[in-house]
Chain A
Amino acid sequence: MALLEVKDLHAGIEGKEILRGLDLTVNAGEVHAIMGPNGSGKSTLAYVLAGKAGYEPTAGKVLFNGKNLFDMAPDERAAAGLFLAFQYPLEIPGVATMTFLRTALNAQRKKRGEGEFSTPEFLKKVREVAGKLGIEQDMLRRAVNVGFSGGEKKRNEVLQMALLEPLLAVLDETDSGLDIDALRIVSEGVNRLRSRERAFIVITHYQRLLNYIVPDLVHVLSKGRIVKTGGKELALELEARGYGEYQEEAVA
């Protein structure tokens, strides 16, 4: 059984259809890259999977670990093992990063019928992961993402992912706004999490990120559909030739 099975998915915002019959199958252990021009529906796909209000599926189905994803609220999807790394992580004034992490982790564990982490257990886990990502203790005490640089915010997303240990992580343009050092740190963080049980969907506009997070498969998204699938060399091809032909192809 595939970890994620997307069949003929149609979805949009405010009645405007953006995804127009998308098919995608992701198995455990695989890394899929989804590339495409602006407006092709990359972020819409991420939000529809995570369950953001306003991003409504109109047709098709999505099975996650065999269950209908659309029967689940966003928090239930997260507890079931779906993680979305946001393109623009939000700032939450007044909520300390530590509180946020612990609340999220324990809420998921509770929903899965696992025991909640004690404070010492939790702290040990956070320190371990944060250290590897170069996240200072001071950052963890501060309010979530408030006053963080772009790179810090993205590292914080990877920290959350590492703590929550999802089955499927969707990375929405994680490379945007990152300099080369931050990109390396974030990618290393992601690569450390690669395993036979876990899958990734890496959404990106540029090939650059895929030098660091090497995908098993690359899909080209255009006008709300996957129009081509290939190996990692497809990303290099796109980098060299641009998206022009796919935009035309979709129109044709």
Chain B
Amino acid sequence: MNASLTTVKTAAESALANTFAEARGRLPGDKAVAARRTAAFGVFASQGLPHRRVEEWKYTDLRALMQEAKPLASPPDATAKARAKTAGAMLGDVEARRVAFVDGAFVPELSDLRGLEGGLSICSLADALADGDASVLAHLGKIAPASDVAVALNTALMGDGAVIRIANGATIERPLHLSFVASQKPAATFVRSLVIAEPGARAMLIESHEGPSGSDYQVNAALEMFVGERAHIDHVKIIAEGEDALHVSTLAAAIAARARFNTFTFTTGGAVVRNQMFLNFDGEDTVAGIRGATLLGGRQHADTTLLVNHVARGCQSREMFKSVLDDEAHGVFQGRIVVRRGAQKTDAKMMTRALLLSERAEADNKPELEIYADDVQCGHGATAGALDEELKFYLMARGIPAAEAEALLIQAFLGEAIEGIEHAGLREALMDSVAVWLKARK
């Protein structure tokens, strides 16, 4: 396609080019959207799939890990929809308003859009693009980094997703649940969502990604979030894909002044997972909690890559990521906090800890601070190690069997991060998910 490219395209790269060429004519949106797609695909075409010599992807060599690119998923049939009904079990008793997507397409009959609270509006991205929704077009792609290959591919191939608006001062008590479910077919989905929280808005958003084991489907999901002044947004992402899935997802947020913003990622599923966050603190005096818990076994690989950009002064951010790695699992954490010249009085603390349950498990931690202001409090810490045998003995000496003692210690380890979630019901649900994972481990 491009004679100046010297690298030979991989099968997956060629397949993506074919997919785009074939699908571009029927993807939603007018000519302007089509032009954006073409530009975005150009970003991908010029860089190719990221590999280990690309610093941001150092530990997740997508070129090697993604042997083939699956065809775009066709719309879900009745069987796929019926199976998706039972999705969302990890939410436990949390009563949330569900917005369902199966194989990347919005499914109204599995969604609950009745009696929306005042100030809340929800629509599908495909519809918004088809209608040429001016506000959606103005926000889309504004904060997700266009140069990032995963984002570029998402922009080029985005099919559907959720568009959520929360009006000025509106408090949405019932959590919103964006439920993304993959069916059995080995296909690719590119979902793109947009959340616009106006000043003073308050809501909790749960995003879950799940699918069956035994299918090597591929997910590329992106969410752009605009958090207005004094808004309070809690975001929880649950990545519970099937054992053979490839999942790449992006959260990009622009956070205005005096807001409260919390995001938590809970990762247990997927063969290869890349969870990336680009968070911009654009307004002063915001308080944010950025946390995550990852539980991996087998040969799973999960990469959390975080870029926190402190642009405005007086913001406080707390980053805490914990991972539990068993068997030959590989956990990656790359966290970079940038404090710009104007971001005086920034208070940022990042902690990442990995618990290795097997000698063959591997953890890579790369915390970075990049500070251009002189009156800030920033720090980071990273640890990786095995379970504390002394603690285990103490528990066993009280009659607790080895496996149960380990489970208690692992729950305590992850609990420290999970406690950061403000919603009590969801905290409990995730602790239950940890217990389920631990039971399955033996």
Residues of A within 8 A of B (CB): 50-53, 73-75, 77-79, 83-84, 86, 89-90, 92-95, 99-100, 103-105, 107-108, 111, 143, 160, 164
Question: Do the beta carbons of B400 and A94 come within 8 Å of each other?
Answer: no
Contacts of A105 in B (CB 8 A): 399
B77 beta carbon closer than 8 Å to chain A: no
Question: Do the beta carbons of A104 and B391 come within 8 Å of each other?
Answer: no
Chain A proximity of B428: nearest CB distance (Å): 14
A53, A74, A83: residue with the most chain B Cβ atoms closer than 10 Å: A74
Question: Do the beta carbons of B411 and A74 come within 8 Å of each other?
Answer: no
Interface contacts beyond A92-B395, A107-B399, A111-B401: sample of 20 additional A-B pairs, CB < 8 Å, sorted by A: A52-B393, A73-B396, A73-B401, A75-B398, A78-B399, A86-B397, A90-B390, A90-B391, A92-B409, A92-B412, A93-B416, A94-B411, A95-B409, A100-B395, A103-B408, A104-B395, A104-B399, A108-B398, A143-B412, A160-B398
Question: Do the beta carbons of B394 and A104 come within 8 Å of each other?
Answer: no
Question: Do the beta carbons of B412 and A94 come within 8 Å of each other?
Answer: yes
In the bound complex, CA of A104 to CA of B402 (Å)? 12
Question: Do the beta carbons of A108 and B412 come within 8 Å of each other?
Answer: no
Question: Do the beta carbons of B397 and A78 come within 8 Å of each other?
Answer: yes
Contacts of B396 in A (CB 8 A): 51, 73-75, 78
Question: Do the beta carbons of B399 and A164 come within 8 Å of each other?
Answer: yes
Could you count the A-B residue pairs with CB atoms below 8 Å apart for me: how many are there? Answer: 77
- Chain B's closest residue to A95 (CB) is B412
Known: A94-B413, A94-B416, A95-B408. A53 touches B389 (CB 8 A): yes
B415 beta carbon closer than 8 Å to chain A: yes
- Chain A's closest residue to B400 (CB) is A107
B404 beta carbon closer than 8 Å to chain A: yes
Contacts of B413 in A (CB 8 A): 94
Question: Do the beta carbons of B400 and A103 come within 8 Å of each other?
Answer: yes
In the bound complex, CA of A75 to CA of B411 (Å)? 20
Question: Do the beta carbons of B415 and A75 come within 8 Å of each other?
Answer: no
Contacts of B404 in A (CB 8 A): 103, 107
In the bound complex, CA of A102 to CA of B390 (Å)? 20
B402, B412, B415: residue with the most chain A Cβ atoms closer than 10 Å: B412
Known: A53-B389, A74-B393, A90-B394. A111 touches B399 (CB 8 A): yes
Contacts of A143 in B (CB 8 A): 412
In the bound complex, CA of A90 to CA of B404 (Å)? 18
In the bound complex, CA of A90 to CA of B398 (Å)? 12
Chain A proximity of B236: nearest CB distance (Å): 20
Contacts of B394 in A (CB 8 A): 86, 89-90, 92
Contacts of A99 in B (CB 8 A): 408
Chain A proximity of B245: nearest CB distance (Å): 31
Question: Do the beta carbons of A75 and B399 come within 8 Å of each other?
Answer: yes
In the bound complex, CA of A51 to CA of B415 (Å)? 29
Contacts of A93 in B (CB 8 A): 412, 416
Question: Do the beta carbons of B398 and A53 come within 8 Å of each other?
Answer: no
In the bound complex, CA of A79 to CA of B398 (Å)? 8
Question: Do the beta carbons of B399 and A73 come within 8 Å of each other?
Answer: no
In the bound complex, CA of A143 to CA of B391 (Å)? 13
Chain A proximity of B394: nearest CB distance (Å): 5
Question: Do the beta carbons of A79 and B399 come within 8 Å of each other?
Answer: yes
Contacts of B397 in A (CB 8 A): 50-52, 74-75, 77-78, 83-84, 86
Contacts of B411 in A (CB 8 A): 94-95
What are the nearest 8 A-B pairs in CB distance? Answer: A94-B412, A78-B399, A108-B399, A104-B398, A74-B396, A75-B396, A94-B415, A90-B394
